[in-house]
Amino acid sequence: MLVWNEIDTVLLDMDGTLLDLHFDNHFWLEHVPQKLAVKHNIDVSQAKVRIHAAYEQVVGTLQWYCLDYWSQQLDLDIVAAKREIQHLIRMRDDSVPFLDALHATGRKVVLVTNAHPDSLSLKVERTQLDQHIDQLISTHEFGVSKESQSLWQQLHQRLQFDPKRTLFVDDSVNILQAAADFGIGHLLAVSNPDSQMPVRNINDFAATEDFRHLLADIHQSKFRR
C-alpha cells in the first residue's frame, strides 16, 4: 500500500489522525450548542441550527479552525469550554506504536494541524503528544489552512522536504487532495477518525483504520536517516 523505502519525511494531521476525533465532534456538535442555548435561553435544537449556519459560512477556511473567531462570533469562551470536557481528549490506541516505529527507522515526523495554537497546547497538555513528534506546526502560523496551496508552498519552504519522498496522513479527503495537488508523493487516509462512528469507505486514497497494520512494513524498510 505504501512504499516505505521511498518515504523519509512523514507529515501528520492531529485531530482524527493521531487523536480521537470524538472530542472535537462532541464539542462542536453538542457541547457548544448546549452552552449557546443556555446563554440565549433557547432550545438546543435552535442553537444547533444557528451554529450550523455559522459553520457553513467558513468551512474549509482558517476561520473554521480559529478559536478566537468562534469566541467572538458566539460570545463564548471557547478555550474554557474545551477545558470543561477535556477528559474526552485522547490519543488513538495505534498512534504511539506508529510514531515509535517511524522514529525507530529514522524518519522525520512533523505534526501539521489546522488546530488553533490554544487547542494544540491543550491537547499536548492532555496527551504529551509532543514527546513523539519532531516538530509541531499549527497552520495558523502561516495564515492559511491545509486546504490552501499557499500553505503547502510555505510549509515546503520552511521544512525543505522532498515532496516525492514525503508521506502525508490525514482524515480529510479534501485536505489529502490539496496535498496531492501540491505534489506530495505518498498519501494515507484515516478511515475511522471518530471512535464512536462507523468506519468510512474511502476510495480516492489508500486508507487505514489501524496504524499498527503498517508496523511490519515500516520496520522492514531499508530507509535510515
Q: What is the mean pLDDT of residues 169-193?
A: 98
What confidence score (pLDDT) does residue 80 get?
Answer: 97
pLDDT tens per residue across span 26-72: 999 999 999 999 999 999 999 999 999 999 999 889 999 999 999 99
What confidence score (pLDDT) does residue 60 get?
Answer: 85
The shares of helix, strand and coil residues in the chain, as percent rounded to the nearest 5, are: 55, 15, 35
Q: How far are the Cα atoms of 53, 75, 91 from residue 133, in angstroms, in the given order?
A: 36, 34, 13
Nearest CA-CA partner of 116 in 158, 162, 62, 76: 62
**144 falls in which pLDDT band (50, 70, 90)?**
very high
The backbone torsions φ and ψ at residue 207, rounded to the nearest 5 degrees and listed phi first, read -140, 155
**What's the fold here for domain 4-20+90-220?**
Rossmann fold (3.40.50)
What confidence score (pLDDT) does residue 225 get?
Answer: 55
Indicate whether 224 pLDDT > 80.
no
Indicate whether 78 pLDDT > 60.
yes
Q: How far are the Cα atoms of 17, 30, 32, 35, 40 from residue 46, in angstroms, in the given order?
A: 31, 12, 12, 12, 10
| Cα distance from N-terminal residue to C-terminal residue, the chain | 22
- Mean pLDDT, the chain, rounded, equals 96
Q: Provide the CB-side half-sphere exposure for 220 (13 A, CA).
A: 7
pLDDT tens per residue across span 97-124: 999 999 999 999 999 999 999 999 999 9
pLDDT tens per residue across span 12-26: 999 999 999 999 999
29: helix, coil or strand? helix
Would you kindly state where each structural domain of the chain is located, as residue ranges?
Answer: 4-20+90-220, 23-87
- Contact status, residue 152 vs residue 178, Cβ threshold 8 Å: yes
